[in-house]
Amino acid sequence: MRYKVNLKLTDEGYTVWCPILPGCASQGDTKEEALINIQDAIESYLEVLEEINKDVESCYVEVELNHA
């Protein structure tokens, strides 16, 4: 699966986060290192999410945005 991530260059290197996964973030000294680290963070995030939701009923709802 592909996830959009955001990168920001800081004084310490690169900060990277996944906007659709709240709290899922990482960093690295280089852009390449940060991207590798966020892949690991996303995998761990999804594993924890799966464990938390293993006995939870889920369904989908449809939402329509009305723009004035």
User: What residues pair up with 10 in beta bridges, in sequence order?
Assistant: 13
Are 34 and 16 within 8 A, CB to CB? yes
Q: What's the pLDDT tens digit per position in 3-40?
A: 999 999 999 999 999 999 999 999 999 999 999 999 99
User: What residues pair up with 15 in beta bridges, in sequence order?
Assistant: 8, 27
| Predicted local confidence at residue 66, as pLDDT | 87
- Here the tokens at position 31 are 């852009």
- Model pTM score: 0.81
**Which domains are seen in the chain, by residue range?**
1-68 (3.30.160.250)
Place of tokens 């009305």: 66
Per-residue pLDDT band for 59 (boundaries 50, 70, 90) equals: very high
Task: Give the DSSP per-residue string, 13-36.
Answer: EEEEE-TTSTT-EEEESSHHHHHH
